[in-house]
Amino acid sequence: MAEHESLEFGKADFVLLDNVSLEEFMANLKLRFEKGRIYTYIGEVVVSVNPYRAMNIYGRDTIEQYKGRELYERPPHLFAIADAAYKAMKRRNKDTCIVISGESGAGKTEASKYIMQYIAAITNPGQRAEVERVKNMLLKSNCVLEAFGNAKTNRNDNSSRFGKYMDINFDFKGDPIGGHINNYLLEKSRVIFQQEGERSFHSFYQMVKGGPESLLRSLHVSKDPTAFNYIKVGGHIKSSIDDGADFKAVADAMKVIGFTADELQTVYKVLATILHLGNLTFGVDGDTTLIENSKVVAVIGDLLATKEENVEKALLYRTVATGRDVIDKQHTAQEASYGRDALAKAMYERMFCWIVGRINDVIEVKNYDAKVHGKNTVIGVLDIYGFEIFQNNSFEQFCINYCNEKLQQLFIQLVLRQEQEEYQREGIPWKHIDFFNNQIIVDLVELQHKGIFSVLDEACMNVGKVTDKVFLQGLNSKYSVVGFIDKNKDTLFQDFKRLLYNSSNPVLKVMWPEGKLRITEVTKRPLTAATLFKNSMIALVENLACKEPYYVRCIKPNDVKSPLLFEHERCRHQVEYLGLLENVRVRRAGFANRQEYPRFLQRYKMISEFTWPNHDLPSEKEAVKKLLQGCGFEQDVAYGKTKVFIRTPRTLFCLEEQRTEMVGRIVLFLQKVWRGTIARMRYRRMRAAVVILRAYRRFKVKSYIKDVNHKFKNVRSMKDHGKHVKWPTPPKVLRRFEEVLRSFYNRWWAWMLIKDMTPEEKLRIRAKGATLEALKDQRPDLGLQRTWEGNYLKRDSPDTASSFTLVSSELQRKDKFMRVLFSCNVRKINRFHKAEDRAVLITDRHLYKMDPQKQYKPMKSIPLYNVRSSPLWLSAIVYTHTRTRAWREKVCVLDTQSEASVLLNGTDWET
């Protein structure tokens, strides 16, 4: 049963109808169509109603919803039937087929394309190049076959005018490895004639409207379709179809498939030749038949790569062998017109069959050895022309309707056989159901010696004048048989076959292999079109019968292509001849629904305490019995060997209602449990993060302390007491600790430096410390690494030392100081930035400024007790770099504070 569809959309499966009647069937079909639900099940059959509008139900997200699901797990859809066929092929290694049937315009071709799209989308997750190539070829082939095999009719803008059966081959992994296309009964009469309001095949209009100017010039074709008799007959040239865009799409698809440029050009030449043939007219001059527009013959000869005279002779004469003699018999104007039309039809049919063959050459499985690669399996997709009844039904329509009757008979047989075999296999009694078997209709057409095809063949073989009336008398029927005899004979003069076989175009030569026979060679009478088609249908049915079938039954809701109109009588007629109601009755004959025990238990086990969440019974069959007994449904079910069978839809509805109620409660329970689980998981992650963080911090702290201990372990024995040792980078948490540790180390290092000093050295150190404090942040070095000498003039200037000694002795005698504290040469810089050499002498009582140029003559004397309050500034110790690269300590007395600033900030001094 389909899930996620409420009863407002009707019953998703016709088997679940309360009363199986045509009225209820139609009411449910109409309700679902009006609600936008175009797909409905009959068990494992999909009923599809053409919506006549684009629907957003075929995208990638929809594909994912149906991939790997059972039919009843999702709402009805084409993808569900495609997935069921694919699973049966992959899981059970069985060949399967999908049979798509219905009227013309019911959506069969679109359904086949969506099925191909789904199969291509769910295969090859690894994107292997060869598999991708095969999938691309299979999809592109649809575009090409539609262009050359489809046409606009009064009932359908894209009606398939041929039958198509495609086999898709898969390897043991379930990936497509190739395919094969069979085509049946192309409606070639459409080449020369169409009903009012219809068109010929799309390919003609695509070339005329979409072909580039250069191509059309080479083909002698204009862009006006009304200029060609064959494609203007229908009177419906304008269409919603974009022929120009389709021309490019088809050309690109043919190139992708593998058609060469020459082959593509030959296809265009064949189409152009057919158009020109339709414009040929014949006249009579006495007893001679003439071609009235002979210029067209030259164009045809050029396009067919043969001589103009050969084309003219084939059109006007027929070569006849009488014994050993060969004569040329001239056609009448009527015979010439018949031969021209037969040639046009035959050329198109041969070209179409050649295109199908070329596609098969590309997509067929190659170099596949079953012993090496394993058995390859097949999914067949049958898109056959639609059943139609017109006011006048032609030979082709007769064959098409016979084909549909043949497939309907197969459908009835297989459905009944499958149903009966399943009941027998499961040990369930089978009740016979009466149904209409259309075998009598099939026999009426194909029975040997008595069927319509046999009577038609006999009429064609009669000697003498054979007419459609003679055939009609033989049938004793009301059928319109106009043209049946000629179409069944399908006569094409051998002269045309030889003409095209002898063409210098190799592609045309391949299309006409019979042309190599000489006129005198004895050949068997060719099989008639009816016999060939009957044989192909019998072979097709035998091919389908050996596969596991899946069905798509397409219904056309109205004849005006409206997305809103549901014509009750129109749809009722289709439902009746498709046998859909009988299908429902057969399905409902015994049990409305059947499911395998594991699947049933998986879906409904939550409604019983004995099966939720798991059962402890001996088998799943016993668990299902216990579940149904607990619900009170044991009287409405039967137990097979592998499946449980449910008789009435009401039981299934009750199970679904109980399941829906329990699912809500289970969801709440699961949400509660899951939310608790998520909270616990989050807590455990946070706790683990904290533990890890703490452990990491301890590790970093220990590592840092261990590193510091290792680096500073032997600093006591080092010459510089570890001053050169580089401190390790601390973790963030220990940055403050590192500052304190460095402070401790610095204090220890300072103590280690001064502990062995004499009192005098300690005094000098204090002086240096005071200077450092006075000039904080002004100079990076104050000679802390050296001993201060003090009286530098006496030590560093031997040439002038005697003069300085005399002056200092005189000053000592005069000012009564006890000792010299400091002396040196300096450079004075005033507020005007003028520099002059000076000398400074500091004693324990005075500060003197001297002129070294005048033998250190004192220039100014200041008592030391006045220095603290004097406006004069005493500079700190400064350094200048001499040419001998030796460092000297100098003192400079500055007159003002600004002079001190100049000194400290000047470029000649390093502060």
pLDDT digits (tens, 9 = 90+) for 148-206: 999 888 877 888 888 888 888 888 888 888 888 888 878 888 888 888 888 999 999 99
pLDDT at 24 over 70: yes
Query: Would you place residue 234 in the very low, low, confident or very high pLDDT band (cuts 50, 70, 90)?
Result: low
**Considering 40, 109, 401, 825, which one is annotated as catalytic?**
109
Q: Is the distance from CB of 197 to CB of 234 less than 8 angstroms?
A: yes
Tell me: the pLDDT tens digits for 479-538?
A: 755 666 666 555 677 888 888 988 999 999 999 888 787 665 645 666 666 677 777 777
pLDDT tens per residue, range 818-829: 888 888 888 888
Catalytic residue among 40, 124, 141, 156: 156
The two tokens of residue 409 are 């008979």
pLDDT at residue number 144:
92
**Is 4's pLDDT higher than 70?**
no
| Beta-bridge mates of residue 59 | none
The answer to whether 187 and 161 have CB atoms below 8 angstroms apart is yes
- pLDDT-based confidence at 422, cuts 50/70/90? confident
What does the pLDDT read at residue 908? 33
More confident of the two residues 21 and 878: 21
Higher pLDDT pick, 67 / 612: 67
pLDDT at 865: 80
Question: Which residue in 160, 394, 401, 608 is the catalytic one?
Answer: 160
Determine the pLDDT at residue 712. 87
pLDDT above 80 (res 897):
no
Q: Is 446 annotated as a binding-site member?
A: no
Give me the catalytic one of 40, 96, 123, 159: 159
pLDDT for 910: 31
Active site residue 386: yes
Report the pLDDT averaged over residues 57-71.
Answer: 87
- Contact between 611 and 623 under an 8 Å Cβ cutoff? The reply is yes
620 annotated to bind ligand: no
The reply to whether 790 belongs to the active site is no
Say if residue 348's pLDDT is above 90.
yes
pLDDT at residue number 472: 60
Mean pLDDT for the stretch of residues 295-324: 87
Angle between helices 129-149 and 202-210 (to 10 degrees): 100
The DSSP bridge partners found for residue 368 are none
Average pLDDT of span 788-795 = 78
714 is catalytic: no
**423-479: pLDDT as tens digits:** 778 887 766 666 666 677 776 777 776 667 666 666 666 645 555 565 565 555 547
- Quick one: which H or E segment has residue 79? helix 78-92
**pLDDT mean across residues, the chain:** 80
Is residue 107 annotated as involved in ligand binding?
yes
Percent of the chain with pLDDT over 90: 20
Residue type, 26: M
Please pick, among 178, 386, 451, 722, the residue that the annotation labels catalytic.
Answer: 386
103 carries a ligand binding annotation: yes
**163 noted as active-site residue:** no
Share of the chain above pLDDT 70, in %: 80
Residue 875 has pLDDT above 50, yes or no: no
Per the annotation, does 109 bind a ligand? yes
> Per residue in 377-418, pLDDT tens?
888 888 776 666 666 666 767 777 777 777 777 777 776 666
**Residue 160: active-site member:** yes
Secondary structure element (H or E) that encloses residue 824, with its range:
strand 820-829
Find out whether 344 is annotated in a ligand binding site.
no
Query: If we measure between CA atoms, which residue out of 356, 184, 160 comes closest to residue 267?
Result: 356
898 band by pLDDT with thresholds 50, 70 and 90: very low
d(C-alpha 803, C-alpha 32), whole Å: 129
Read off the pLDDT of each residue in 85-101 and give the average, rounded to a whole number.
Answer: 84
Write the DSSP assignment of 446-493 as a string of letters.
H-TTTSHHHHHHHHHH-SS---HHHHHHHHTS----TTHHHHHHT---
Please tell me the number of Cα atoms within 13 Å of 853 on its side-chain side: 4
**pTM of the entire structure?**
0.63
Q: According to the annotation, is 102 in a ligand binding site? A: yes
Catalytic annotation present for 634 = no
Q: Out of 48, 50, 104, 200, pick the active-site residue.
A: 104
Q: In this predicted structure, what is the pLDDT of residue 170?
A: 86
Note if 109 is an active site residue. Answer: yes
Residue 159 annotated among the catalytic residues of the structure = yes
